[in-house]
């Protein structure tokens, strides 16, 4: 039975609330564990503490590149083993998939520009925008997460507001598909057919497809917004590709990473050239 979780604000603790130590923080329920940076499990993660425990963390204020838990020596902060996609790390991915907001607490040991001078401070709600694995500065595999500050709860995005009482405070962004002009070119080039399964979703006003950037745009991947970095996918295979449930191997074969089975050859028969280094990057970003 998973622990019942509270996602979102804890009543009585607005943004800016401070705590002298972890005991006080835990008592407030803003971040319940006395140790550990992530409060989460298989159903989702509700809060994290950003306090400089991991050398790979990067804090930009409204955006945080956060390192998952496990494998580090708490005294030296050195990574001494691989991290796994379990417990809190798994929880942060679930929060990404379900769109749960994550409470962010900063500790005095974190980035100087964004952290409190002493103790801990609740800094508001963030959403998990991305997750991937990489080999960290100490040579072991770590899981990383990009968290992006949510709009202030005082001013939700227009169409949440429009949803009235049902949507106003409780709706969360589960999935946000962005597109660019280049992405639309990729869709047209593939005639809106999924490059994994060949499906072309037909709607009353024409076909629908999504463009997946193979190597993500933005920090820290900085993938290019070019045709060679884009796949045209149906929404189902887009989810599977973004979560690493499927990858494309060196031979252009789409593989199910859970079962290990071949799904088929990536469809590239329409003159849509893919840069294979991006597919390698994607495979590595989802290596467990």
CB of 119 to a copy of itself, least distance (A): 26
CB 185 within 8 A of CB 262: no
Between 3 and 288, CB nearer to a copy of itself: 288
Which SS3 state, helix, strand or coil, does residue 230 take? Answer: strand
CB of 238 to a copy of itself, least distance (A): 7
Strands 102-107 and 120-135: antiparallel
Q: Could you tell me which of 188, 197, 280, 193 has the C-alpha nearest to residue 227? A: 188
CB of 11 to a copy of itself, least distance (A): 16
CB of 44 to a copy of itself, least distance (A): 9
Between 27 and 168, CB nearer to a copy of itself: 168
Strands 102-107 and 44-50: parallel
Q: Which residues bind a copy of itself (CB under 8 A)?
A: 42, 62-63, 85, 90, 93-94, 97-99, 129, 146, 148-149, 151, 157-160, 162-164, 166-167, 170-181, 184, 199, 201-206, 208, 210, 217-219, 222, 224-225, 234-236, 238-240, 243-245, 257-258, 286, 288
Buried b (16+ CB within 10 A) or exposed e, 28-52: bbbbbeeebbbbbbebbbbbbbbbb
Rounded CA-CA distance 99/249 in Å is 30
Sign of CA dihedral 22, 28, 33, 36: negative
Between 44 and 136, CB nearer to a copy of itself: 44
Between 97 and 108, CB nearer to a copy of itself: 97
Between 52 and 224, CB nearer to a copy of itself: 224
């Amino acid at each position: 039975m998973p622990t019942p979780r509270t996602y979102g604000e804890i009543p009585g603790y607005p943004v800016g609330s401070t705590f002298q130590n972890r005991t006080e923080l835990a008592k407030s329920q803003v971040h319940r564990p006395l140790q550990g940076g992530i409060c989460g499990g298989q159903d989702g993660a509700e809060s994290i503490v950003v306090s400089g425990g991991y050398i790979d963390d990067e804090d930009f204020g409204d955006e945080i590149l956060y390192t998952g838990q496990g494998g580090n020596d708490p005294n030296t902060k050195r990574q001494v083993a691989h991290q796994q996609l379990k417990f809190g790390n798994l929880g942060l991915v679930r929060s990404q998939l379900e769109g749960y907001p994550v409470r962010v607490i900063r500790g005095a040991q974190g980035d100087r520009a964004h952290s409190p001078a002493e103790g801990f401070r609740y800094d508001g709600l963030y959403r998990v925008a991305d997750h991937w694995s990489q080999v960290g500065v100490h040579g072991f595999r770590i899981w990383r997460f990009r968290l992006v500050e949510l709009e202030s709860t005082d001013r939700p995005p227009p169409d949440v507001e429009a949803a009235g009482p049902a949507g106003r405070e409780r709706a969360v962004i589960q999935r946000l598909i962005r597109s660019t002009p280049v992405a639309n070119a990729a869709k047209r080039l593939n005639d809106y057919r999924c490059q994994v399964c060949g499906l072309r979703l037909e709607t009353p006003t024409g076909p629908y497809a999504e463009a997946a950037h193979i190597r993500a745009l933005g920090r820290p991947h900085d993938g290019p917004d070019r045709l060679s970095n884009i796949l045209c996918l149906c929404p189902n295979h887009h989810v599977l590709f973004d979560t690493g449930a499927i990858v494309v191997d060196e031979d252009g074969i789409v593989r199910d990473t859970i079962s290990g089975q071949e799904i088929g050859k990536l469809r590239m028969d329409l003159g849509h050239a893919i840069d294979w280094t991006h597919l390698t990057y994607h495979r590595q970003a989802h290596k467990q």
